[in-house]
Homo-oligomer: A and B are copies of this chain.
Amino acid sequence: MAKIKRNKNGTRKDVIISKAAKLFREKGYNATSMRDLAEHVGVEAASLYNHISSKSEILQEICFKVANEFTSHIEEVYASSTNSIEKIEAILRFHIRQMVDNYEEVYVNDREWKHLSDPYLSNIQNQRRSYRQRIAQIIEEGIRKDEIKSIDAPTAVLIMLHAVSGIESWHRSKRKIPGALLEDNMIMILVDGLRR
Check A114 against B28 for contact (C-beta < 8 Å): yes
Q: Say yes or no for A58: interface residue by CB 8 A criterion.
A: no
Check A149 against B193 for contact (C-beta < 8 Å): no
Determine chain A's interface SS by DSSP, over half rule. Answer: helix
Across the interface, A166 reaches (CB within 8 A) one of B149, B151, B161, B181, namely B161
For window 142-169 of chain A, which residues contact chain B by CB distance below 8 Å? 149, 151-152, 154-156, 158-159, 161-167, 169
Q: Say yes or no for A90: interface residue by CB 8 A criterion.
A: no
With a cutoff of 8 Å between Cβ atoms, the chain B residues found around residue A151 in the complex are 185, 188-189
With a cutoff of 8 Å between Cβ atoms, the chain B residues found around residue A28 in the complex are 28, 30, 114-115
Known: A114-B27, A115-B31, A193-B188. A158 touches B166 (CB 8 A): yes
Closest chain B residue, CB of each to CB of A156: B189
Q: Say yes or no for A49: interface residue by CB 8 A criterion.
A: no
Known: A28-B115, A163-B163, A181-B152. A170 touches B158 (CB 8 A): yes
Across the interface, A155 reaches (CB within 8 A) one of B27, B182, B193, namely B182
Report the count of interface residues on A (CB-CB < 8 A): 38
Q: Say yes or no for A121: interface residue by CB 8 A criterion.
A: no
CB distance from A193 to the nearest CB of B (A): 3
Q: Say yes or no for A67: interface residue by CB 8 A criterion.
A: no
Which of A155, A156, A177, A192 has the most chain B CB within a 10 Å cutoff? A155
Which of A159, A190, A191 has the most chain B CB within a 10 Å cutoff? A159
Ranked nearest first, the 3 interchain pairs of A and B with the lowest CB-CB distance are A162-B166, A193-B193, A30-B30
Show the binding face of A for B, using Cβ within 8 Å. Answer: 27-28, 30-31, 111, 114-115, 132, 149, 151-152, 154-156, 158-159, 161-167, 169-170, 173, 177, 181-182, 185-186, 188-194
